[in-house]
A and B are shown apart, each in its own frame.
Chain A
């Protein structure tokens, strides 16, 4: 019986996940991590956080060595989960986010509708105030190298009267304060992405419009989806890495465009295979 060779996940041609050159660059970069039902990107975002903070990614690439200096701030903004969800699960990958001073979690889930956006039908101004606070936190970060993750921002489009242009504007402003902005978004079709929706007030149209505009600005895209043939015991899903519409303005650096298959075990052990 032949055994399939496992691989380590790399996103760039220098065998890195988040290259040092990206963090040292003056240009802000944008990445989109999209997922479907059944393929939550929790494990990937955990690995990206670990890579951003200390340089390793123990779950997906054991070749990476820790950085000599830990001078990168990672800010995680979530509309779907609280801090406890990420902190408690990060311990399994050997990094305790609760005591890491370079990690900041901005919880926009717990008091979103009880405190921040009390009137979802008329939320534009409150959303602006909320993002101003976020920008200030990012701006006040100790280090100049900054990576910002934002999870499920499209939730604002479906639950409030916010327009896609307003949300895109806020995200681009956040991007100016960091080296890399990673937008984590659901992309099920036709539920979230429906190119046949034309009604401007339709949340499907708003989310489609938002994502399309984001894709026109991104530098690297990672997509995760289940197997088209359905559930398999030894494969969780497919992970596709593609370059975005904007190239990286770093000489010699290019996105390693590949398609992988991956499997998540019960103890969060991740096996990656080249497709």
Chain B
């Protein structure tokens, strides 16, 4: 006889530390039915894994030396590395950039580890910073998913520590979605009420499904791990919210560049941090973020010389290649300071593994789009996104330049990139007004 309320959560801390110490989780919940591995019971039970019965004619060898390990599949390789998936094109280990649409544009479903991306931007806007912040936030979130082992670290170049407080937090959905999620989370908790519903449904299912499907339980577990990994691979960020709690110095490091004239000093600092992090956790992913690269606000005037820029970027590229299992790099730069048509712009293009360019619309175009989408303001785009280089594929000689094929819009929900098409102005009313006169043919 139970004295608990129907809605009471069984594994809540108050109960765990209370009068019934055995109740600790879903496995500890008393269930009716045959106990597994009870001596003498060898019959296969629907929904349960079959226990191997020793057969004198065909003895089963027990011991670790006789257990044949199945070959590790690609999904298993990435299962223990949170936020890493094989590239859709080249199967290289890939991490998300923090923007799902940019991941799609890069074709790999992210940025392959050991590669870099440059985000160029024309004009006085700063959309590129949104991408860099999401890139950094994604690293922090990956680190927070698994509490015990350090999964990710972020290194920021050139900005003060306060930048960490500006990183966007996770998008929790609209108010409706948030309410729905709350209900779902309550339902997933183990309470007497929920158990009564779920056990009857589960038993019914077990009866319906043939026992042989129970054998594939291991596969199911690996599928669940894979799905979980997929779920943790990329997140959606809300740029109006902030990452709470703010990233600590264990999660993010800052390398100053002001008053540094020599690129080798910066590279040495980066190398030291990377070594330290890898020593702590060899499979760690380190994200280097360089927002507003070479802006006169942060960098010394001597840094704009080609004898600083090229050796510095080349050395960064060397770091990426040397730590090709750990490092990824995202940099943003103003195209007005260093246009693609200049030598510096072209050299940057050859030194970075992938390059995208943001070109916000001018005033005239913005007005046209606002007019075209006046009934659907959510469709208003903010500019064009040009793809100049894609990791690995461009290096192999494939022509991956896509000019004016994508448009971007920055919203609270996410930074969206979609295929660009010129909006059609709806002049139906005006045309109707003009054609009211009778026309003679």
A contacts, CB < 8 Å to B: 37-44, 80-82, 84-85, 89, 109-114, 117-118, 120-121, 152, 155, 158-161, 186, 188, 190-192, 194, 203-204, 207, 226, 230-231, 236-237, 264, 266, 268
Tell me, in angstroms, the Cα distance from A38 to B394 when the chains sit together: 6
B-to-A contact residues, CB < 8 Å = 89, 263-264, 267, 306-308, 310-311, 314-315, 317-318, 321-322, 324, 340-343, 345-347, 349-351, 388-389, 394-403
Please tell me if the beta carbons of A118 and B264 are within 8 angstroms of each other in the complex: yes
Structural contact, A89 and B400, CB atoms closer than 8 A: no
A191 x B315 contact (CB < 8 A)? no
Contact call A186/B350, Cβ cutoff below 8 A: yes
Residues of A within 8 A of B345 (CB): 191
**Beyond A121-B307, A159-B307, A186-B346, is A42–B267 a contact (Cβ under 8 Å)?**
no
A113 contacts which of B89, B263, B394 (Cβ < 8 Å)?
A: B263
B149 nearest CB across to chain A (Å): 28
A152, B395: Cα distance in complex, Å: 14
Give chain A nearest CB distance to B356 CB in angstroms: 14
Q: Which residue of B lies closest to A89 (CB)?
A: B396
Tell me if B343 and A192 are in contact (CB < 8 A).
Answer: yes
A267 to chain B, nearest CB (A): 10
In whole angstroms, how far apart are the Cα atoms of A160 and B347 in the complex? 13
Contact B388 A37 (CB under 8 A): yes
Contacting residues, chain B, for A266 (C-beta < 8 A): 89
Interchain CB contact under 8 A, A38 and B314: no
Tell me how far the C-beta of B264 lies from the nearest C-beta in chain A, rounded to whole angstroms: 7
Q: Which of A84, A110, A117 contacts B318 (CB 8 A)?
A: A110
CB distance from B345 to the nearest CB of A (A): 7
| Residues of the B chain whose Cβ atoms lie less than 8 Å from the Cβ of A111 | 318
Contact B394 A40 (CB under 8 A): yes
A262 to B351, CA, bound (A): 25
B318 contacts A191, C-beta separation under 8 Å: no
| Contact indicator A113/B395 (Cβ below 8 Å) | no
Residues of B within 8 A of A120 (CB): 307-308, 310-311
A85 contact set on B, CB distance < 8 A:
395
* Nearest residue, chain A, Cβ from B312: A113
- Which residues of chain A are near B267, meaning CB under 8 Å? 114
9 contacts between A and B (CB under 8 A): A38-B388, A84-B324, A110-B318, A120-B311, A159-B307, A191-B342, A203-B306, A236-B399, A264-B396
Residue of B nearest to A40 (CB): B397
Given the complex, which residues of A lie within 8 Å of B388, measured CB to CB?
37-38
List, in ascending order, chain B residues with CB within 8 A of A117's CB. 311
Q: Is the CB of B399 within 8 A of A188?
A: no
Tell me whether B322 and A188 are in contact (CB under 8 A). Answer: no
| Majority SS at the chain B contact face | helix
- Closest 7 pairs (CB-CB, A-B): A191-B346, A159-B310, A113-B311, A38-B401, A40-B397, A120-B307, A236-B399
CB–CB B350/A41 < 8 A: no
- Contact of B264 (CB < 8 Å), options: A114, A121, A160, A161: A114
CB-nearest residue of chain A relative to B404? A230
B311 touches A237 (CB 8 A): no
* Centre residue among A44, A84, A203 by max chain B CB count within 10 A: A203
Q: Is the CB of A37 within 8 A of B318?
A: no
Instruction: Tell me, rounded to whole Å, the shortest Cβ–Cβ distance linking B269 to chain A.
Output: 13
Partner of B399, one of A80, A203, A231: A231
The interface residues of chain B lying within 8 Å CB-to-CB of A237 are 399
When the two chains form their complex, are residues A38 and B396 in contact, meaning their CB atoms are under 8 A apart? no
Residues of B within 8 A of A82 (CB): 321
B346 to A, closest residue via Cβ: A191
Chain B residue nearest to A204 (CB atoms) is B343
What CA separation (Å) do A117 and B324 show in the bound complex? 23
The verdict on A158 contacting B318 (CB below 8 Å), with A152-B350, A186-B346, A230-B403 known, is no
**Distance A204 CA – B306 CA, assembled complex (angstroms):** 11
Contact A113 B396 (CB under 8 A): no
Q: Is the CB of B396 within 8 A of A37?
A: no
Determine how close the nearest CB of chain B comes to the CB of A266; give it in whole angstroms.
Answer: 7
Bound Cα distance A199, B400 (Å): 34
Q: Provided the pairs A37-B401, A110-B318 are in contact, do residues A158 and B310 lie with their beta carbons within 8 angstroms?
A: yes
Q: By the criterion CB–CB under 8 Å, are A113 and B403 in contact?
A: no
* B396 and A43 form a contact (CB under 8 A): yes
Within the complex, the shortest CB–CB distance from B84 to chain A, in Å, comes to 19
Most buried by B among A37, A44, A203: A37
Would A109 and B401 be within 8 Å (CB), given that A190-B341, A191-B341 are in contact?
A: no
Residues of A contacting B351 with CB < 8 Å?
80
Assess the B395–A40 pair: CB atoms within 8 A. Answer: yes
* A159 CB contact (under 8 Å) in B311, B321, B395: B311
